[in-house]
Amino acid sequence: DTAVSQTPKYLVTQMGNDKSIKCEQNLGHDTMYWYKQDSKKFLKIMFSYNNKELIINETVPNRFSPKSPDKAHLNLHINSLELGDSAVYFCASSQVGRGSNTGELFFGEGSRLTVL
């Protein structure tokens, strides 16, 4: 029933490891996003995909690689994790096409990544 679901909710790992976070939405939206929330609660867009096509790629290290197998899924893979990658990562979705875009986002519960 969850509209935007992310897994895992918590992730604790060592520096240098590679990890993935998965996201799925069942709202029928055509656009999905990854946001990073730092320790000061600041939310920053990382990536956006529209119908599986990358449309926004902010200044993010290329250790971060998003993948969208279909418009309902957007995964985030992170290579060679660093201490500064510790944050909460939020997946979100919206409907942009068909003249219905207002910018309203629907968020997942977040995935808290802790790098030791």
Partner 1 sequence: AQSVTQLDSQVPVFEEAPVELRCNYSSSVSVYLFWYVQYPNQGLQLLLKYLSGSTLVESINGFEAEFNKSQTSFHLRKPSVHISDTAEYFCAVSDGGYSTLTFGKGTMLLVSP
Number of residues that bind partner 1 (CB under 8 A): 24
Tokens of residue 106, six digits: 């629907």
User: Judged by CB under 8 A, which of 36, 66, 90, 113 binds partner 1?
Assistant: 90
Q: State the Cα angle at 3 between 19 and 7, rounded to 5°.
A: 15
* Rounded least distance, CB 16 to partner 1, Å: 27
User: Judged by CB under 8 A, which of 22, 65, 86, 105 binds partner 1?
Assistant: 105
* Rounded least distance, CB 25 to partner 1, Å: 13
Q: Is 103 in the site for partner 1 (CB under 8 A)?
A: yes
CA gap 73, 50 in Å, rounded:
11
Nearer to partner 1, 45 or 60 (CB): 45
CA gap 100, 116 in Å, rounded:
43
Q: Is 27 in the site for partner 1 (CB under 8 A)?
A: no
Q: Is 42 in the site for partner 1 (CB under 8 A)?
A: yes
Backbone angles phi, psi at 72, to 5 degrees: -95, -5
Backbone angles phi, psi at 29, to 5 degrees: -75, 155
Tell which residue, 116, 97, 107, 103, has the closest CA to residue 36: 107
Q: Which residues sit at the interface with partner 1, rule CB under 8 A? A: 4, 31, 33, 40-43, 45, 48, 50, 55-56, 90, 96, 101-110
